[in-house]
């Protein structure tokens, strides 16, 4: 099987960073998805694929996580390597050490770093000074690993990515930004519905339009307009980590942007529902939607493991 050969060969992504999905070509993303499918299949068959024996991945967390931590730790273990969890309290970064010093020192100990943090500039600074691959596990600007898992899931369910339509409802946040770039890269159409004042970053929207010149990219303040003919309806929490003090205001501003059964039925009869989790039932999504037959959120969450294993194999193997 061609994918099996890929596991044991030098990959075009070897020793590359993943800061945003702009870093990878369409062909490279497809290669990752193929490898993720293969690794997932082998795990289901009970077979061990361990190309990362002796490799060590550092996991820097300035933002807490369930899926990111467990999927990266489990993934490294399953690939034969080791992961080190490093909170901000475990590193001198938390006590004022320059990021450049941390990057240079950790480059001598580790084979790669995954970082989940607030400011995207922190990830960029780490990548600038490190001599090992840096993976963006989430910043306030981008969430590329999540969208790789989303692409794998959509392809599994729909059989293709080309010309499908994703409708994202909610805050124009890091998920909206990475979906914009990911859909544009992969030949998918995307519509984003946000309340007034919560639109995605204009610079990122412009980048997506430049990348996806042939694709439909719509920004609207009307969720029903966004979901028309959508193959996927996607949402995220209204207040992300670090925005807790805005919770009450956001609940008020987003009250017409809940993905409920009425909105879901305004898409196609075959429309699927996705959420990057954690979800707040009764806020951004109704319980009967996320727990209903159109929801694929748990397959989506599981695929974080498989696509990240593919990413680690490609850049560290």
Q: Which residues are annotated as a binding site for L-ornithine?
A: 174, 236, 240-241
236 has catalytic annotation: yes
> Active site residue: 143, 177, 250, 294, which one?
143
> Active site residue: 276, 294, 300, 308, which one?
276
> Active site residue: 11, 250, 275, 304, which one?
304
Binding-site residues from annotation for carbamoyl phosphate: 65-68, 92, 116, 143-146, 276-277, 304
Contact 277, 67 (CB under 8 A): yes
Q: Provide the H-helix boundaries in 10-66.
A: 26-44
> Active site residue: 11, 116, 155, 275, which one?
116
Q: Tell me the HSE value of 158 on the side-chain side, using a 13 A CA sphere.
A: 23
304 has catalytic annotation: yes
> Active site residue: 146, 215, 258, 308, which one?
146
276 has catalytic annotation: yes
140 has catalytic annotation: no
**Three-class SS state of 119:** coil
Burial 246-275 (b: 16+ CB within 10 A, else e): eeeebeebbeebbbeeebbebbbeebbbbb
117 burial (CB, 10 Å; 0-12 / 13-18 / 19+) is buried
Binding-site residues from annotation: 65-68, 92, 116, 143-146, 174, 236, 240-241, 276-277, 304
143 has catalytic annotation: yes
> Active site residue: 236, 250, 258, 308, which one?
236
Contact 225, 267 (CB under 8 A): no
Active site residues: 116, 143, 146, 236, 276, 304
């Amino acid at each position: 099987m061609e994918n099996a050969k890929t596991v044991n060969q030098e990959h075009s992504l070897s020793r590359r960073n993943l800061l945003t999905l702009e870093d990878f070509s369409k062909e490279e993303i497809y290669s990752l998805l193929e490898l993720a499918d293969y690794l997932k299949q082998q795990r289901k068959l009970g077979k061990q694929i361990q190309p990362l024996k002796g490799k060590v991945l550092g996991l820097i967390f300035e933002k807490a996580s369930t899926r990111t931590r467990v999927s990266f730790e489990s993934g490294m273990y399953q690939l034969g390597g080791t992961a080190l969890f490093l909170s901000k309290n475990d590193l001198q970064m938390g006590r004022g050490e320059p990021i450049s010093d941390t990057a240079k020192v950790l480059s001598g100990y580790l084979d790669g770093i995954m970082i989940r943090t607030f400011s995207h500039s922190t990830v960029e600074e780490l990548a600038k000074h490190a001599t090992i691959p840096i993976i963006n596990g989430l910043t306030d600007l981008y969430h590329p690993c999540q969208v790789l898992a989303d692409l794998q899931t959509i392809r599994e369910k729909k059989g293709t990515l080309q010309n499908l339509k994703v409708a994202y409802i909610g805050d124009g946040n890091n998920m909206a930004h990475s979906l914009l770039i990911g859909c544009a890269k992969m030949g998918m159409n995307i519509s984003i519905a946000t309340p007034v004042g919560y639109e995605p970053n204009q610079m990122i929207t412009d980048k997506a339009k430049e990348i996806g010149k042939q694709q439909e990219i719509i920004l609207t303040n009307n969720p029903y307009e966004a979901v028309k003919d959508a193959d996927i309806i996607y949402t995220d929490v209204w207040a992300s980590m670090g925005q807790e003090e805005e919770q009450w205001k956001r609940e008020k501003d987003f009250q017409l942007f809940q993905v409920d059964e009425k909105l879901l039925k305004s898409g196609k009869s075959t429309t699927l529902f996705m959420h990057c989790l954690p979800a707040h039932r009764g806020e951004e999504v109704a319980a009967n939607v996320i727990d209903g037959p159109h929801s694929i959120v748990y397959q989506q969450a599981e695929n974080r493991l498989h696509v990240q294993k593919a990413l680690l194999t490609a850049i560290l193997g």
